[in-house]
Structure 1
Amino acid sequence: MKTIHILILFIVVAIAQLFIPAQMIFNREAIIEKGTVYKFKTQPVDPNDPFRGKYINLNYDVRSFATSDTLWERQDEVYVYLDTDSLGFAKVNKVSKLPLNLEKDFIVAEVSWYNKREHTLNFNLPFNRYYMEETKAYDAEVAVRNSQRDTIPNNTYALVYIKDGKAVLNDVIINEISIKDYVEKEN
């Protein structure tokens, strides 16, 4: 009898271990399939996390918004509503402490600080790390840094899919080429 209980418990745990990652993958794929894609201008650096591996840390041009509301606290949730500019890049339309009934895509971000002198809310976007194969991450960071120095404007950006406040960082583009292909081409 005890063996049957252990077997049943083992089966339940095994199913849970398969279900949870499958659900995470399904949710990401649903955002990519049904979400709206936005281009975010980037300024990456290449840190290393011993537990998560090599990644490119992305700093975005879209990370602040002018507002006279001064009651922001660090680490508060902020709803960032998006539009696109004339070149197709993401720009902030509005920020709010609560969800608004707008027909616009939004991201739930985290307040980093409020600049009282300039009346600007600064926030951290939830998709600031792009993971790559460990052997290519440094080359990717060098390629992005070099592309930031050339004279072509807006040549490095992240493709982010957004749906219902959730976001998936799908790719980083340099000179209209995926960073994975760009690194292969440069080597």
Structure 2
Amino acid sequence: MKSKKIIFILFLLVAILQLLAPTKMIYDQENTLKNGKALKFLTEPIDPNDPFRGKYIRMNYDINSFNTKDTIWERKQEIYVYLNDSLGFATLKTVSKTKLEIDNNYVKAEVSWYDNYNNKLRFNLPFDRFYMEESKAKPAEDLVRINNRRDSLKTNITFAMVYLNDDKFVLENVFINDVSIKYLVGK
């Protein structure tokens, strides 16, 4: 009888833990959306597919490098990218190997490489995938690609709306000329 109680209590603990994990993930995302700083990141197109997580638009941002004379950077090294808000759009303030106490408009990124010739540090921002319903991902990607061509950049602005809150981020949506990509492909 006592072993049945122990098994039942263990079962309840495991069930509670399984509910807490996704609840914490949802809470973190909602908290970032509610309390985070919204910044727009200008994009460039790329199209991939993830067999485990589904179809997505690969987001490539125009903020992907930083001029620096510091040549000691390791590939895949975690760095802190600090951002300014310039009329709602993200601009690069500075990059650091350690967390600075200047503000909370930052994101942890990963070093791609250091270009010694141009003294540029190249990095990848972590919010580079915007997942969509499978039937809409390809048309959305095509739309983003068409609107990011050099000749259409004069009339069309494609950007990702990202919320930042300390080291958390949420890629909320992708827009073309302030219209949601979900709306544009859902027409």
TM-score range, shorter chain: over 0.9
163, 166, 178: which one pairs with 1:164? 166
- Deviates most, 67-76 or 146-155: 146-155
User: Which residue is equivalent to 2:36?
Assistant: 35
Unaligned stretches of 5+ in structure 1? none
Distance 1:131 1:60 in 2: 16
Paired residues for 1:1-187 under 5 Å: 1-85=2-86, 87-103=87-103, 105-149=105-149, 150-153=152-155, 155-185=157-187
Distance apart, 1:84 and its partner CA: 3.0
- Contact 2:38 2:88 survives alignment (8 Å): no
Deviations 1:137-162 (A, max 9, x none): 01111111122232545510000001
Deviations 1:112-167 (A, max 9, x none): 11111111011111100001011110111111112223254551000000111221
Over the matched positions of the two proteins, sequence identity in percent amounts to: 51
Indicate the RMSD between aligned Cα atoms, in angstroms. 1.4
- Contact 1:46 1:54 survives alignment (8 Å): no
TM-score by length of 2: 0.93
- Deviates most, 167-176 or 39-48: 39-48
Distance 2:43 2:65 in 1: 14
**As a proportion of its length, which structure holds more strand?**
2
Number of residue pairs matched by the alignment: 184
Letter of the 1:165 counterpart: D
TM-score by length of 1: 0.93
Structure 1 counterpart SS, 2:170 = strand
Structure 2 counterpart SS, 1:160 = strand
Letter of the 2:141 counterpart: E
Distance apart, 1:44 and its partner CA: 2.8
Unaligned stretches of 5+ in structure 2? none
Distance apart, 1:174 and its partner CA: 1.1
Letter of the 2:31 counterpart: A
Distance apart, 1:2 and its partner CA: 2.3
- Contact 2:147 2:158 survives alignment (8 Å): yes
